[in-house]
Amino acid sequence: MPQFIDTAKIWIRSGRGGDGKVSFHREKYIASGGPDGGDGGRGGSVIFQVDDNLSTLMDFRYKKKYTAPAGEPGGSRRCTGKDGRDLIIRVPRGTILRDANSGQVIHDLSDNEPFVAARGGKGGWGNTHFATPTRQAPRFAKPGLPGQELEIRLELKLLADVGLVGFPNVGKSTLLSMASAARPKIANYHFTTLVPNLGVVSIGEGESFVMADIPGIIEGASQGAGLGHAFLRHIDRCRLLLHIVDAAGSEGRDPIDDLEKINSELGQYSIDLEKRPQIVVANKMDLLGGERAPLDAIRKWADEHGFAYAEMSAATGQGVRELMQQTWHALEQLPPVIVYEPEFVPEEAKPVTEADIDYVKQDDCYIVSGAWIDRVCSSVNFDDYESRQYLDRRLRAAGVFDRLEEMGIQDGDLVVLGEMEFEYEH
C-alpha cells in the first residue's frame, strides 16, 4: 500500500520580469533612428490546480522547491520579451494552502478554479519609454520586477459529508463497504485501515453523499497516540459524524466508555468537532442474541448528549439501509461542506517609493540605500552623461540631497549610493 502523505512544506518563487532593452534603430539611409528598445516579458506565475487523480501529497515528499521561469528581456525594434511560462502545481482536491510562518489559510483548493499563489514580476520598460523632446537618445532602461517568494504548508483535508469515527475494529470499514461501492481492506485486527477511505453512498436518483472511513481513533489520539492524530484533520470538513460503537463489547471494552473517550479526543483536537452533529450507531447487535440492555444504555447516552441514535449489524446488513436514509435526512438539514476562508494573502510585489530610502552616517561617509535606490540605479548607464543627469534629477526630486544636507554633509564627503561611491559636491 502506498504511504499516505497528507502534509508537506514547500518553497515557491515566481519568475522575475525580463529587463527592458536599450537599443537604437539602425537602418540604411536613416540616421539617428531613435530608441527602439522593447519591454521585458512578465515572469511566470506559480499556480495551484486541483487534480482528482491525486489522493495524497506524496509528490511533495522529496521535491521542496518550485521556481517559475523568468520573463525574457526586451529586444530591439520595440519587440517585447517573451513571458515566462507559468508553473502549474497539481494537488488533490481538499488541499489547504497555509503560510508556513503564521499558519494562516492562504487558499482552500476545494473547487476547480486555479489559484495564483505567487504572481510573476512585471517586465521592465525599454528605452523607448524614456525618449523626450530634450532626451532623444536615452541609454538606459528599467529592469524587470522580482518575483514573489513564499513558504507554504500544504494540508490535505478530505472533502466528505460524513465521517465514520470510533475505536479500531468497531465496523467502520465494513459499513463503508456495505453502503457504497468502496472496497476497503477489512480484517479482525486493529488499524486495518491505515489511510482514509472514501465512498459515495447513493440513496436515490440525485440523492447521494460522500462518506469517509477515518482510521481508528484511540485514547490519546489528540496528543499523537496511535494513528488517530494523523487523520483527525480529515474529520474537520465532515458535516455529520457517524460514531460507531461495538454494542456487544466483543473486545472486552465498555461501549459507554468508548463513546466518552472518543468524544473527549474530538473535543481536545477541536472544540468545533466536539459540537459537530453525530449519529451514535450501535453496531454488532447480531452478537447480542436479542439482549436489549446494552442497546438501551447506548441510546440513553446519546439522548443525554443530544445526539441521534441508530443500531445495526454492518456484517449482516441489518439496519444499514435505514441508517443511510437517516444520514441523508440529517444532511438535508445541515449547511454545505466547510470551505476555509483565506486569512492570509501573499503580498504583491510592493510598489517601491521614495519612502523606502534609508540614510546612515558613519563618520564622513553617508550611506544611502533601499529598494527605491536599487531600482533607480539599476536602470542607469553610468558611462553615459545623459543617463547620469537623469539619475541626478531623480535623486533631487526624491529629496535625497536635501536629506543629506540636513544630516550635515559637506563638500568632499563620501556618498555610498547602492553599489556606487562618489564625493559630494554641492
> Distance from CA of residue 232 to its chain's centroid?
19
Bigger pLDDT: 159 vs 94: 94
Of 355 and 189, the one with more pLDDT: 355
- Report strand pairing: 278-283 vs 240-246: parallel
- Taking CA atoms, 164 is separated from 141, 243, 383, 418, in Å, by 62, 6, 73, 62
- For residue 91, what pLDDT is reported? 93
The C-alpha atoms of residue 91 and residue 49 are separated, in whole angstroms, by 6
The strand pair at 414-417 and 420-423 is best described as: antiparallel
**Mean pLDDT of the 5-13 span:** 88
Residue 192: per-residue pLDDT: 43
Mean predicted confidence (pLDDT) in 122-127:
87
Helices and strands (H and E) in the chain: how many: 9, 18
- Considering the segment(s) 354-423 as one domain, its CATH architecture is 2-Layer Sandwich (3.30)
Average pLDDT over residues 249-258: 87
pLDDT digits (tens, 9 = 90+) for 281-298: 999 998 888 888 999 999
Spatial separation of the C-alpha atoms in residues 343 and 331, rounded to whole Å: 28
- Amino acid found at 402: D
Yes or no: say if 421 and 413 are a contact pair by the CB < 8 Å rule.
no
pLDDT in the model for residue 62: 86
The 10s digit of each residue's pLDDT in 367-379 is 888 878 887 877 6
Q: How confident is the model at residue 34 (pLDDT cuts 50, 70, 90)?
A: confident
Choose which CATH entry (2.30.30.60, 3.30.70.141, 2.40.340.10, 2.70.210.12) describes domain 1-156.
Answer: 2.70.210.12
| Element spanning 375, H or E | helix 371-378
306: cell is 443530544
Q: Is the pLDDT of residue 193 over 50?
A: no
For 381, residues 6+ apart whose C-beta sits below 8 A from its C-beta are 22, 139, 140, 387
- Interval 325-340 mean pLDDT: 88
Is residue 351 pLDDT above 70, yes or no?
no
Backbone angles phi, psi at 406, to 5 degrees: -65, -30
Instruction: Name the CA dihedral angle for 15, 377, 400, 351, rounded to a multiple of 10 degrees.
Output: -20
Q: Which helix (H) or strand (E) element contains residue 394?
A: helix 385-397
pLDDT band at 186 (very low <50, low <70, confident <90, very high): very low
What count of other Cβ atoms lies within 10 Å of the Cβ of residue 346?
A: 20
Is the pLDDT at 30 greater than 60, yes or no? no
**305 vs 227 pLDDT, higher one:** 305
Q: How far apart are CA 170 and CA 286, in angstroms?
A: 13
pLDDT of residue 94 exceeding 80? yes
Cell 470538513 found at: 237
Q: Does residue 189 surpass a pLDDT of 70?
A: no
For residue 116, list its beta bridge partners: 47
Task: Give me the mean pLDDT over the 28-40 stretch.
Answer: 76
Quote the CA–CA distance of 142 and 257 in Å, as a whole number.
71
Distance, in Å, from the CA atom of 389 to the CA atom of 381, rounded to the nearest integer, reads 10
pLDDT confidence bin for 231, thresholds 50/70/90: low
Give the tens place of pLDDT for each residue, 195-230: 677 788 888 777 888 888 877 665 544 444 444 455
Average pLDDT for the chain:
83
**Same CATH topology for 1-156 and 354-423?**
no
Domain boundaries, the chain: 1-156, 162-332, 354-423
Overall average pLDDT of the 35-63 stretch: 90
Strand partners for 152 = 10, 99
Where is pLDDT greater, at 275 or 224? 275
Task: Write down the pLDDT at residue 230.
Answer: 58
Residues 100 and 9 sit within 8 Å (Cβ to Cβ): yes
Beta carbons of 248 and 284 less than 8 angstroms apart: yes
Distances (CA, A) of 119 to 16, 70, 149, 350: 10, 11, 9, 12
Q: Is pLDDT of 262 > 70?
A: yes
pLDDT at 1 over 70: no
Task: Please list the residues that pair with 91 across neighbouring strands.
Answer: 50
CATH number of 162-332: 3.40.50.300
Burial level of 401, CB count in 10 A (0-12/13-18/19+)? middle
